[in-house]
Structure 1
Amino acid sequence: MPLVKRSLSLHGHRTSLALEPEFWDVVDTHVKSEKRSLASLIAEIDDSRDPDDPLSSAVRVWALKQLRSA
């Protein structure tokens, strides 16, 4: 399945993030249930990741952790 790319502002800078649709489903479900913005969730993940790790990988790991804790 191809990656789905979304654009957002992260810490005042425009960026894009490409993930598989299955990971976006987890992210979207969480954003909707928490009534928060996509940018705020991605910023939180970005702030907590190792700077050497790609943001897309950090979001995937976050999504897997969400599924495991559910």
Structure 2
Amino acid sequence: MTRAPLRENAKRSVMIAGHRTSVSLEAEFWTALQEIAQARGQSVQALIGAIDSERGARNLSSAIRVFVLGAFRDERAPSERPLADRAGIGQGVQETGGGMSEA
């Protein structure tokens, strides 16, 4: 089984509560974050600030990834294909017994 090449993280600088910090995320997460912010009528920076205020002890990059995952799970209508199908996640997962299946 060949694996897709790892994608490099994109580091961006944001202002949170008056302090500048940098956040490193994969390009796909930046794109998803922009889509979510636009749908909510807010800036990416404002959305990151809201995520930051709710993240607890989790690091900011991880908190953003978990937020994006949750947002896409929440928006999925029952008639839509699962997120895993849309994202190509879980394809070719090995089942116990040696068979291959799409998850």
Do they superpose with TM above 0.5?
A: yes
**Scaled by the length of structure 1, what TM-score is found?**
0.91
Which residue of the other structure, out of 49, 64, 68, is the alignment partner of 2:69? 64
Higher relative contact order (CA 8 A, sep 6+): 1
Task: Give yes or no for the alignment of 1:2 onto 2:8.
Answer: yes
Aligned match of 2:27? 21
Aligned match of 2:53? 47
If each structure's helix is expressed as a fraction of its own residues, which one has the higher value? Answer: 1
Determine the C-alpha separation between the residues in 1 that align with 2:58 and 2:65. 11
Partner SS, residue 73 of structure 2: helix
Q: Which runs of 5+ in 1 are unaligned?
A: none
Aligned match of 1:35? 41
**Scaled by the length of structure 2, what TM-score is found?**
0.64
Determine the C-alpha separation between the residues in 1 that align with 2:36 and 2:63. 16
Determine the C-alpha separation between the residues in 1 that align with 2:72 and 2:38. 15
Q: How many residues align?
A: 69
Identity of aligned residues (%): 39
C-alpha RMSD over aligned residues: 0.9
